[in-house]
Amino acid sequence: MKSLNLWPQVGFFLLLGFLLGACSVQRFIPEEERLYAGAELHVNSSSSERNSRLSSDLENVLRPKPNSSTLGVRFGLWAHYKGDREKPGFINRFLKRRFGEEPVYFSRVNPERTLTLLQNRLENQGYFFNSLSYELEPHKKKKETAVRYKLEIGEPYRLREFTVEGDTLPIMQRIQQLIPETSLQKGYRFDLDGLKKVRDELESRLKAEGYYNFSGDLLIFEADTNRLEGRQYDLFLRLKRNVPEKALYPYVLREIDLLPNFSVNEDYSRADTVKSRGIRVIQDELFFYPERITPYVLMQPEGLFSPDLSRRTSNRLSSIGTYRFVNVQYEELDTIPDANGRLGLRSQIALSPQNKRSFRAELQAVTKSNNFAGPGVLFSYRNRNLFRGGETFTLSANVGFEQQIAAGERTGLQSIELGLQASITYPRVLFPAPVMNRFQFTIPSTRISLGTEYQNRTDLYRLISYNASFGYFWKVNRFVYHEVNPLSLSFVQLGNISPLFNEILENNPFLRRSFEQQFILGFNYTFNYNQLVDDFRKRALFFGATLDVAGNSLSLVNTAFGSERPERFLGTEYARYVRGDVDLRYFFRFSKDNQLVLRTFAGLGLPLGDNVSLPFVKQYFSGGPNSVRAFRIRSLGPGTYIPETQSIAGFFDQAGDIRLEGNIEYRFPLVSYLKGALFVDAGNVWLVNDNEALPGGQFSSNWAEELGVGAGIGLRVDIDFFVLRFDFATPLRKPWLAPDNRWQRSFDIGSSDWRRDNLIINFAIGYPF
């Protein structure tokens, strides 16, 4: 019989017991005090209604909150006591500052006041005439006391009749018409917060109908609960006394003035005024064509005042990109209503422009997702409002030298890059049919871009590429973004192929085909839904999706003209494929700096026609600082494939048409700007078609067993405007090994050979996702 060694388990429990005893706080509690152990709430209700908000409101009344504990250990309180001693020492002072909690003694608790607050919460939600009591529960051995609150409640009061008083006034008649559209119906449970929401809803509806000076605070609800029929109440709605008369009438916009080049120090009394769509456009000299800017204004002369139209007009004008500030103001013109019972407003829309021209030069230290790093210089010129219609012209040029680092034997790849890119953005839709008014939040912008790039990979090849695109982008609201490019074109010239790179291509016909696809003409679409714009959200979702289709239109043209080489256009081979991917991230925000982030990425590219693989620039790869961080850049996959040597050839071979990844990362603060992270990554890439040069690379039903898995820790220097990231990771599962040996069974961090093969260090700028 094999003997069992129980000493490790025994030692663990002895250590746990020592730590639990060491963190005991009983000896620190003053003699005259007892620690507050919290409160229990017992509600006994005869009501058949399920009221989840009531339970939450009652729980929130229980104050103060006791000191936190984990497994019965109040570590924060212990850290406070240890650091509060006369000579605490450096470690105890740090623990108190970082984790310490002020003690919550029972002497701070007032159960009678808590009962009053509980009764108030019950009555606010329609539960009157309740029975409330409490009991103290002192602990026999520990210096602690808890409180048990007992609540006996019955059926809530419900609405019997509702009356609008003063209905001879037009505004009260309108309120009478709006009430059926609210939640205030017969049988409505008395709910103070609910009545406030009804009042706010009435204010919103009335303001949308022109009642510029009306406020919900001018309305008052009165409830009568003295009914013999049981738990019922009558409700009366009326105006408060001494309501300003101007609050009772709707307003119309008599005049709308728009100042496209507003400055506080300017006098516009003698400025040129041009009317467009009934709007007066006032400017000293032509800054913005009136017929170009007035379509952004949704308000209309003689139209009712509407805060919604005002807000959306401000959003639309801000989206132009020409203006730093958009200020919509109103001035009351009348004191006596007209024959229709309306008062007048003047609206002034003041637009403060940004600097029209800007030039910027940047010296950059570039790190890329393919582990190329090096210095670079970027020059950019921008002209806002180029043709006096809000157009933005951008011209940028870059020069850079990069070398691949942290890729094992693949280091040494060098790259010299030169680039020139020009684009012009029109803050409107360039389209044969008028479509601007279909977009309320922001109007889509049209972007046209042209560019070229020169890249020289030392000892491998020289590549010159040209690109052009035409497309639209816009926001539906604060969260949703769309971008569609009906035309996306790129042309690549590959030259100066070295014997080494030619040998790489000869050994992998699929790779050669991917570089021969020099012409890409297609369509692409991007969709983003991003809740991260709201910092207050405890749970935030990001979802991104892209669709990229190329070559199909050229294939149709070739087929129509009966071309013998359907995969060539003007003598050049073109790419034909469909490629799409989704990126889903979920953020659990425990506090500002404590977050748990879950991410899933899935991408699929299907080569079409005679193409057997995607163009090289469109292929997926796995491994590296923004992927599975326990594996070096482009060192994972495809599938179970592994090159015989980690040479430069592997840099091009280890890519695929399919990519699946998942990440879990917990982010937490350390000190000041230094943040920490714990993470686990999993993923791989695969091929759609079998490639003899890459055995085991094709996607199969066993894909889950071919995932590479890694884990690690991270350090991040997080300053407001940038983040320096260091991630240290090690593989947990290597998919190229035999199925029974893929999971790591030993971690010999003391061995230099093990560290060289299994300890991966990633350096990058910005968070991985």
Structural domain spans, the chain: 21-66+104-153, 158-248, 251-353, 355-496
pLDDT tens digits for range 91-131? 888 888 888 899 999 999 999 999 999 999 999 999 998 99
CATH topology of domain 21-66+104-153: Ubiquitin-like (UB roll) (3.10.20)
pLDDT at residue 3 tops 70: no
Q: Closest Cα to residue 617, out of 548, 543, 558?
A: 548
First to last CA, the chain: 52
pLDDT tens digits for range 172-181? 999 999 999 9
Reported as a pLDDT band with limits 50, 70 and 90, residue 625 is confident
> What pLDDT does residue 672 have?
79
> What pLDDT does residue 301 have?
93
pLDDT at residue 574 tops 80: yes
pLDDT tens digits for range 398-413? 888 766 655 444 455 6
Q: Closest Cα to residue 574, out of 492, 516, 519?
A: 519
> What pLDDT does residue 715 have?
93
> Rounded CA gap, 277 and 256, in Å?
10
Identical fold, 158-248 and 251-353? yes
Q: Closest Cα to residue 516, out of 581, 565, 579?
A: 565
Give φ, ψ of 167 to 5 degrees: -75, 10
Reported as a pLDDT band with limits 50, 70 and 90, residue 493 is confident
Greater confidence (747 vs 354) lies with 354
pLDDT at residue 386 tops 60: yes
> What pLDDT does residue 273 have?
92
> Rounded CA gap, 536 and 652, in Å?
44
pLDDT at residue 311 tops 90: yes
Reported as a pLDDT band with limits 50, 70 and 90, residue 391 is very high
Percent with pLDDT over 90 in the chain: 49
Q: Is 752 helix (H, G, I), strand (E, B) or coil?
A: helix
Reported as a pLDDT band with limits 50, 70 and 90, residue 536 is confident
pLDDT tens digits for range 599-623? 999 999 999 887 788 888 888 989 8
Are residues 250 and 304 in contact, defined by beta-carbon separation less than 8 angstroms? yes
Reported as a pLDDT band with limits 50, 70 and 90, residue 569 is low
Q: Closest Cα to residue 69, out of 18, 32, 33, 103?
A: 103
> What pLDDT does residue 732 have?
94
pLDDT at residue 365 tops 60: no
Greater confidence (242 vs 227) lies with 242
CA dihedral 109, 111, 116, 121 (to 10 degrees): 80
pLDDT tens digits for range 630-681? 998 878 889 998 887 655 655 666 889 999 999 999 999 888 788 999 999 9
- Over residues 40-58, mean pLDDT: 80
Name the CATH superfamily for 251-353: membrane protein fhac (3.10.20.310)
- Over residues 727-739, mean pLDDT: 92
CA dihedral 448, 441, 295, 445 (to 10 degrees): 0
> Rounded CA gap, 745 and 167, in Å?
81
Q: Is 323 helix (H, G, I), strand (E, B) or coil?
A: strand
Give φ, ψ of 169 to 5 degrees: -80, 140
Percent with pLDDT over 70 in the chain: 89
Lowest mean pLDDT of 164-168, 318-322, 515-519, name the range: 515-519
> Rounded CA gap, 258 and 658, in Å?
53
> What pLDDT does residue 237 have?
94
Q: How many Cα atoms sit within 13 Å of 182 on the Cβ side?
A: 21
> What pLDDT does residue 436 have?
66
CATH code reported for the domain at 158-248: 3.10.20.310
> Rounded CA gap, 366 and 373, in Å?
5
Give every CB contact of residue 615 below 8 A, 6+ residues apart in sequence. Answer: 514, 515, 517, 520, 575, 577
Task: Write the DSSP symbol of residue 470.
Answer: E
